[in-house]
Amino acid sequence: EAGVAQSPRYKIIEKRQSVAFWCNPISGHATLYWYQQILGQGPKLLIQFQNNGVVDDSQLPKDRFSAERLKGVDSTLKIQPAKLEDSAVYLCASRYNRGTNEKLFFGSGTQLSVL
Protein backbone atom coordinates (compact mmCIF):
# COMPACT_ATOMS: atom_id res chain seq x y z
CA GLU A 1 0.00 0.00 0.00
CA ALA A 2 1.46 3.37 -0.99
CA GLY A 3 1.91 5.85 1.84
CA VAL A 4 1.13 9.53 2.11
CA ALA A 5 3.22 11.44 -0.41
CA GLN A 6 4.45 14.97 0.23
CA SER A 7 6.56 17.35 -1.78
CA PRO A 8 8.88 19.07 -1.74
CA ARG A 9 10.97 17.44 0.97
CA TYR A 10 12.84 20.65 1.76
CA LYS A 11 12.23 24.30 0.95
CA ILE A 12 14.25 27.40 1.74
CA ILE A 13 12.73 30.82 1.12
CA GLU A 14 13.18 34.38 2.26
CA LYS A 15 10.64 36.10 4.47
CA ARG A 16 7.72 37.68 2.64
CA GLN A 17 7.99 35.13 -0.18
CA SER A 18 5.26 32.60 -0.85
CA VAL A 19 5.50 28.82 -0.75
CA ALA A 20 3.22 25.86 -1.46
CA PHE A 21 3.25 22.28 -0.23
CA TRP A 22 1.54 19.34 -1.85
CA CYS A 23 0.08 16.19 -0.34
CA ASN A 24 -1.35 13.03 -1.87
CA PRO A 25 -3.08 10.93 0.78
CA ILE A 26 -3.53 7.19 0.81
CA SER A 27 -6.15 6.14 -1.71
CA GLY A 28 -9.60 5.99 -0.18
CA HIS A 29 -8.79 8.02 2.91
CA ALA A 30 -11.50 10.65 3.19
CA THR A 31 -9.97 12.64 6.03
CA LEU A 32 -6.82 14.68 5.48
CA TYR A 33 -4.86 16.77 7.96
CA TRP A 34 -2.12 19.37 7.77
CA TYR A 35 0.06 19.73 10.84
CA GLN A 36 2.84 22.18 11.63
CA GLN A 37 5.70 20.88 13.76
CA ILE A 38 8.19 23.35 15.18
CA LEU A 39 11.49 21.90 16.35
CA GLY A 40 11.15 20.32 19.79
CA GLN A 41 7.35 20.44 19.85
CA GLY A 42 4.54 18.07 18.99
CA PRO A 43 2.63 18.48 15.72
CA LYS A 44 0.03 21.25 15.79
CA LEU A 45 -3.11 20.82 13.71
CA LEU A 46 -3.59 23.53 11.09
CA ILE A 47 -6.54 22.22 9.13
CA GLN A 48 -8.64 19.07 8.75
CA PHE A 49 -10.60 18.10 5.64
CA GLN A 50 -13.35 15.54 5.26
CA ASN A 51 -13.40 14.81 1.53
CA ASN A 52 -13.18 18.34 0.07
CA GLY A 53 -14.87 20.12 2.98
CA VAL A 54 -13.13 21.80 5.90
CA VAL A 55 -13.92 20.24 9.29
CA ASP A 56 -11.58 22.29 11.48
CA ASP A 57 -9.36 25.24 10.58
CA SER A 58 -9.51 27.02 13.92
CA GLN A 59 -5.70 27.10 14.28
CA LEU A 60 -4.91 28.09 10.71
CA PRO A 61 -3.50 31.64 10.48
CA LYS A 62 -5.90 32.62 7.75
CA ASP A 63 -4.26 35.97 7.03
CA ARG A 64 -1.31 34.14 5.50
CA PHE A 65 -2.11 30.42 5.29
CA SER A 66 -4.56 28.80 2.92
CA ALA A 67 -5.35 25.21 2.03
CA GLU A 68 -7.54 23.44 -0.43
CA ARG A 69 -8.48 19.91 -1.29
CA LEU A 70 -10.11 20.01 -4.67
CA LYS A 71 -11.92 16.82 -5.71
CA GLY A 72 -11.37 15.39 -2.24
CA VAL A 73 -8.01 13.80 -2.99
CA ASP A 74 -4.78 15.85 -3.25
CA SER A 75 -4.30 18.89 -1.09
CA THR A 76 -2.12 21.97 -1.16
CA LEU A 77 -1.10 24.22 1.71
CA LYS A 78 0.12 27.72 0.88
CA ILE A 79 1.84 30.41 2.91
CA GLN A 80 1.83 33.96 1.60
CA PRO A 81 3.74 35.90 2.76
CA ALA A 82 6.02 33.76 4.89
CA LYS A 83 7.42 34.90 8.23
CA LEU A 84 10.50 33.74 10.09
CA GLU A 85 8.32 31.94 12.65
CA ASP A 86 6.84 29.76 9.90
CA SER A 87 10.07 27.75 9.83
CA ALA A 88 8.90 24.25 10.69
CA VAL A 89 8.10 20.84 9.29
CA TYR A 90 4.71 20.66 7.61
CA LEU A 91 3.18 17.22 7.92
CA CYS A 92 0.28 15.83 5.97
CA ALA A 93 -1.70 12.91 7.32
CA SER A 94 -4.69 10.91 6.19
CA ARG A 95 -6.99 8.84 8.30
CA TYR A 96 -7.99 5.24 8.17
CA ASN A 97 -11.19 5.14 10.13
CA ARG A 98 -13.51 2.20 10.07
CA GLY A 99 -15.68 1.85 13.10
CA THR A 100 -13.54 2.10 16.21
CA ASN A 101 -10.18 1.50 14.57
CA GLU A 102 -8.68 4.89 13.90
CA LYS A 103 -5.20 5.43 12.56
CA LEU A 104 -3.42 8.43 11.13
CA PHE A 105 -0.87 7.81 8.39
CA PHE A 106 1.71 10.56 8.05
CA GLY A 107 3.93 11.61 5.21
CA SER A 108 7.60 12.45 5.78
CA GLY A 109 6.84 16.14 5.79
CA THR A 110 8.22 19.25 4.15
CA GLN A 111 10.92 21.04 6.09
CA LEU A 112 10.56 24.79 5.55
CA SER A 113 13.28 27.27 6.41
CA VAL A 114 12.40 30.95 6.21
CA LEU A 115 15.43 33.22 6.15
Q: Is 55 in the site for other proteins (CB under 8 A)?
A: yes
Which of 45, 98, 53 lies closest to 71, judged by CA? 53
According to the binding rule CB under 8 A, does residue 16 interact with other proteins?
A: no
Q: Establish if 48 lies at the interface with other proteins (CB under 8 A).
A: yes
- Binding of other proteins at residue 22 (CB under 8 A)? no
Residue 43: how many other CB atoms lie within 10 Å: 19
- Contact call for residue 28 and other proteins (CB under 8 A): no
Query: Using the rule CB under 8 A, is 31 a contact of other proteins?
Result: yes
- Asked if 52 is part of the footprint of other proteins (rule: CB under 8 A), the reply reads no
Number of Cβ atoms within 10 Å of the Cβ of 27: 9
Task: Report the candidate in 87, 70, 85 with the shortest Cα–Cα distance to residue 22.
Answer: 70
Question: In 25-72, where do the E strands start and end?
Answer: 31-37, 44-50, 53-56, 65-68
Compute the distance between CA of residue 51 and CA of residue 12 in angstroms, rounded to an integer.
Answer: 30
Least distance from C-beta 16 to other proteins, angstroms? 27
Q: Does 35 bind other proteins (CB under 8 A)?
A: yes
> Which of 2, 42, 63, 70 touches other proteins by CB under 8 A?
42
> What does the binding site for other proteins look like in residue numbers (CB under 8 A)?
4, 31, 33, 35, 41-45, 48, 50, 55-56, 91, 93, 97, 99-109, 111
